[in-house]
Amino acid sequence: MLASTAMAQGDLQSVTAPNMVFENGYIQVVGESEAGQSRYRAKTAAKVIAQANLLSVVKGVTIAGTTTVQEGMLVDADIKTAVGGFLQGAMVVDEQFFPGEGYARVVMRLNLRGESSLYNSMASTLQQPPAALKVEKLPEFKPQAAAAPAPQPVTYDGLIIVVEGTGFKPALANRIIAENQNILFEPSKVSPQMLIERGCGGYTTTEIKAKTLLQSWGSTSPLVVKCVKVQKGTEAVVSVQDATVIFEQDQKSNILSQAKVVFVL
């Protein structure tokens, strides 16, 4: 019982650091009112504080490159509208009133993926980014005969990109780019429904966790690729040879359109 209680309390802590937000798939904040109030006033005040905390965290989420949601809201009306709608979907996952001190504590959560999520609200913007977001359009990757690797003995049905120690930042529109600056993966490559359900893939801290996550998506044989560098903070760059393998395996298994991609941070 003590272990269950500790786990429950842990689940109700703030989740605001970018890596944790993308790994968990949600933003979670705590709002506490001042002491010495009635139950109704304290709970109302705690919710207002939690909502303000949520907005602050959402604004700090990176969309692409170095552009945050806050910057996107300033330059694009559609993004501002989308974020406003997204905030309406905030859920109260716990609320408590402490009569002795007269204060309340409210825990609120917003999902990144799924229905009533940030990806759902911004799917069209991410797949066709406005010029104001300064997302550079790159040519699509096409393998060259001279760069073609030897045929792979197995068919891969998922992709793990190891970006550990590179300074890579999770974002709403992470991209995978070949060293020749051709694009392999970005939101436009993902089917609309999968973008809502999985975003630009998953984020975790070990290859074992990545394989477990992919397995839950139906992937049993993932390809593991280590990026050679990161550019603009959110773009994982892979070698042309690895890009060719990814391209060819995607032709067989639709890895990219289904967002069966996990970044190991």
For residues 235 and 154, membership in a common domain is answered with yes
Residues 143 and 260 in one domain: yes
Residue 145 and residue 260 in one domain: yes
Q: Mean pLDDT for the chain?
A: 93
Q: Going edge to edge, which strands form the sheet with 158-162? A: 202-204, 261-264, 158-162, 222-226
Contact 54, 29 (CB under 8 A): yes
Give pLDDT, residue 5: 35
Confidence of residue 174 (pLDDT cuts 50, 70, 90): very high
Does position 7 have pLDDT exceeding 50, yes or no? no
Phi, psi of 177 (to 5 degrees): -130, 140
Q: How many CB atoms lie within 10 A of CB 10?
A: 8
pLDDT bracket for residue 149 (50, 70, 90):
low
For the chain, the domain total comes to 2
Let me know: does 228 contact 239? Beta carbons within 8 Å.
yes
- Domain holding 87, by residue range, is 2-127
The pLDDT assigned to 9 comes to 56
Give the per-residue pLDDT at 151: 67
Residue 30 CA to residue 56 CA, distance in Å, equals 12
Task: Give the pLDDT confidence of 24-38 residue by residue, as tens digits.
Answer: 999 999 999 999 999
pLDDT tens-digit profile of 218-231?
A: 999 999 999 999 99
Q: Could you count the other beta carbons within 10 Å of the beta carbon of residue 187?
A: 25
**How confident is residue 72, by pLDDT bands cut at 50, 70 and 90?**
very high
* Confidence at residue 12, expressed as pLDDT on a 0 to 100 scale: 86
User: Are both 88 and 197 inside the same structural domain?
Assistant: no
Q: What is the mean pLDDT of residues 252-263?
A: 98
Beta bridge partners of residue 108, listed in sequence order:
29, 92
Q: Give the mean model confidence (pLDDT) for residues 177-183.
A: 98
Predicted confidence (pLDDT) at residue 55 exceeds the cutoff of 50: yes
| 11 and 102 fall within a common domain | yes
Shared domain check, 115 and 16: yes
